[in-house]
Amino acid sequence: MTSGAAVIGAAGEVAVERTGGRRPAISVVIPALDARDRIATALDSLGGQRLDEPFEVIVVDSGPRSCADVVRSRFPGARLVRSERPLGPGAARNAGVRATRGAHVAFLSDDCAACPEWLAERLQVHRLGCDVVGGSISNGTTRSPIGTAAYLIEFSALMPGRVLADQAVPHALSFSRDALERLGPFPEDVRTGEDTVVSRRAIEAGLRIGFAPLAAFSHRNPTMPIPYLRHMWRHGEGLVECVSRHELVAPIGDPDQALPVAAARMLGYFPAWAWTAKARALARFAPRALPTFLALGPIIFAGHAATGMGAFARYLKLRRG
């Protein structure tokens, strides 16, 4: 387990009812950093799963604002992994995986609500022989222009109804136990993109990847300007870290490129490329979403620009050593 983390909650009444003393068919890991004000939505959605088989919930609770009391009140059967030290997304995923017992492992963000069939649909596809199963993500902030812009930037390839297999690198994945052991841990040295790195490993390893479009969860996106731009900036930082530390290929270029080239690519080329690529993909695979994308075009472009600026800032820091 990650240093500073410990399992502090054992299976309670709900866990006994869900597992019946048997090995869980699937484990759900929720990375929860200072999630006291967000975690209830995720837990309530798991309490409503339509699954007749045993499953378990592992909440990785890190940072000073613990959500332990909320977890115990909303889903008393969940198991808690607590770390006073804030854990990044990779470290939180790894700590959660080490605490699981299920034959399969899925991940749910602390601000998301899984649909009632989320686990059942995943298990059905896993049992067709798939090592890895991708699902879909819906917009949990449909009434917010900024929230919708953030959704279209991050999750347009995962929209319910879209051809999920079109993703160059699949996301929103669950894994068989054997697949996780084969792929190794999530990287802990990146701010974001840890899931992309492992997803790419799955492709390179030749694992069988399946898709369950009905295995959807609703994502709450930032709805105010500053949190939105900060969120996109952070994604830019994580993108550079994934490129420089894990050989991820991205349009921002190589980590050893010259300073003028990096500035041109990250601050100029990347926002334009990202906006255009997203528009073309929606026109091909989700044309009903294209008018919304175009109407929110300036907000979306600003988000891509913030990602490019975050990438450039991180590039400069890594360049200085």
Q: Is 105 helix (H, G, I), strand (E, B) or coil?
A: strand
pLDDT at 4 > cutoff 50:
no
User: Distance between CA 57 and CA 100 in Å, rounded?
Assistant: 8
pLDDT at 6 > cutoff 80:
no
Confirm if 137 and 219 have CB atoms less than 8 A apart: yes
Report in angstroms the alpha-carbon separations of 72 from 28, 212, 234, 261.
Answer: 16, 30, 31, 52
For 17-50, write each residue's pLDDT tens digit. 343 457 899 999 999 999 999 999 999 999 999 9
What six digits make up the tokens of 252? Answer: 């921002």
Amino acid, single-letter form, for residue 220: R
Residue 93 lies in a domain: yes
Closest CA to 134 of 185, 209, 189, 35: 209
For 267-304, write each residue's pLDDT tens digit. 999 999 999 999 998 998 889 999 999 999 999 999 99
Amino acid, single-letter form, for residue 238: G
Residue 266 lies in a domain: yes
Residue 201 lies in a domain: no
The structure tokens 């009444």 sit at 13
Domain that includes residue 59, residue range: 1-111
**What is the Cβ-side half-sphere exposure of residue 256, based on CA atoms within 13 angstroms?**
2
User: Distance between CA 61 and CA 85 in Å, rounded?
Assistant: 10
Percent of the chain predicted with pLDDT > 90: 82
Among 94, 111, 128, the domain-final residue is 111
pLDDT at 253 > cutoff 60:
yes
User: Distance between CA 144 and CA 108 in Å, rounded?
Assistant: 22
What is the total count of domains within the chain?
A: 2
Kindly list the strands in the beta sheet with 5-7, ordered across the sheet, starting from the edge strand earlier in the chain.
Answer: 5-7, 79-83, 55-62, 26-33, 104-107, 173-176, 132-139, 209-219, 112-114
Residue 137 lies in a domain: no
Among 111, 142, 176, the domain-final residue is 111
Is the pTM higher than 0.85? The answer reads yes
